[in-house]
Amino acid sequence: MAIGTAVKQTAAFAARNIKLYFKDKGMFITSLISPLILLGLYILFLDGVLKDSFEAVVKGFDVKLAPELMNGFIASFEVSSLIAVSSVTVAFTANMAMVDDRVRGVRNDLLTSPVKNSVLTLGYFIATAFVTLIICLVALAAGLIYIGASGWAMSAGELFLALLDTVLCVLFGTALSSIVCGFLKSRGAMSAVSTIVSVVYGFICGAYYPVSQFASAMQNIVMCLPGTYCTALLRTHFMSGYFDKFVSAGLSTDGAGKLFDGLDGRMYFFGGEVPPWAMYIVVIGTVALLMGLFVALNVLFGKRGQKR
């Protein structure tokens, strides 16, 4: 098959999967409003707890900070958590087309036509990444409006890096969900896995609760998981602008550091601070590894399918 033909088929198949997703209004609306509901839950139930913790730390330094600094800092924590979780949970929902095609035998029918397994594999991946990115960008836009209303501190460079982080998180979520969904053979199994991921992933990646608040042993375990570094990158670029503002407002460097450490503005692995460049290496390396594993599994199972 010519490269040009393969590219056209892949684009057409990816477009087909995207159309199927958006055609299902119930699934699309649910996926779209889920991040917004999560943001609402953060505001309603987590906001007060975080503000109390913030004020307790600030009182220890006998400094009064402007409300917008506290509100914006906490809003940045909440929005970074939102994007970190949504990039994975939405990807599992967006991968429903892969499972449906397997259940209904559509994939086997497609393979009997002059379409290679690689075309289908890449088409599923591109469609899932596209859908997940669109929904995460909508959630990001809503989050940025919330941060702006609370107290903005991000520079243009940090905003750009936050967008880059979002794309990397989406690729991570897409690759992870594509591997897992490749073994699922029913909608029931897909729903069960999606539910488990929605509940568990937010905790183990430090999105629902700051890693700094875990027990020391648990912190080190969580910091071994690549998803934690996705959250950490988002935290870094959403929250770093507040450090200088805290110091300018009269808080000492140590005091600003304690505030940051309390909400994972800085991450530590076995006592050593993890710099952003190391986080990028972990995330990019993990995405490459997962994508390679996804391709390898599809090549393996594709050959087995052809032998049958």
pLDDT at 255: 85
* pLDDT score of 299 more than 80: no
The model's confidence at residue 238, banded by pLDDT at 50, 70 and 90, is: very high
pLDDT at 113: 66
**DSSP code for 212:** G
* pLDDT score of 1 more than 60: no
Tens-place pLDDT, residues 124-168:
899 999 999 999 999 999 999 999 999 999 999 999 999 999 999
Q: Which contiguous run of DSSP H or E holds residue 159?
A: helix 156-181
More confident residue, 55 or 160: 160
pLDDT at 114: 67
The model's confidence at residue 303, banded by pLDDT at 50, 70 and 90, is: low
* pLDDT score of 226 more than 70: yes
pLDDT at 100: 82
State how many domains the chain has.
1
The model's confidence at residue 308, banded by pLDDT at 50, 70 and 90, is: very low
More confident residue, 167 or 59: 167
- Answer yes or no: are the C-beta atoms of 256 and 243 closer than 8 Å: yes
pLDDT at 27: 76
- Answer yes or no: are the C-beta atoms of 82 and 144 closer than 8 Å: no
The model's confidence at residue 38, banded by pLDDT at 50, 70 and 90, is: confident
Tens-place pLDDT, residues 71-110:
999 999 999 999 999 999 999 988 887 888 777 777 766 6
Positive or negative: CA dihedral 63, 69, 75, 79: negative
Tokens at residue 195, please? 């539910």
d(CA 103, CA 16): 17
Q: What is the pTM of this model?
A: 0.91
Structural domain that includes position 267: 3-307
Tokens at residue 216, please? 């020391």
* pLDDT score of 41 more than 50: yes
- Answer yes or no: are the C-beta atoms of 172 and 283 closer than 8 Å: yes
Closest CA to 12 of 138, 114, 136, 132: 114
Helices (H), the chain: 3-23, 25-41, 47-59, 67-94, 96-103, 106-112, 117-150, 156-181, 187-204, 216-222, 226-239, 241-248, 253-262, 276-307
Q: Which contiguous run of DSSP H or E holds residue 272?
A: strand 272-273
Closest CA to 73 of 147, 166, 165: 147
* pLDDT score of 25 more than 80: no
The model's confidence at residue 282, banded by pLDDT at 50, 70 and 90, is: very high
Across 40-49, 200-209, 224-233, 297-306, the highest mean pLDDT is recorded for 224-233
The model's confidence at residue 307, banded by pLDDT at 50, 70 and 90, is: very low
pLDDT at 2: 65
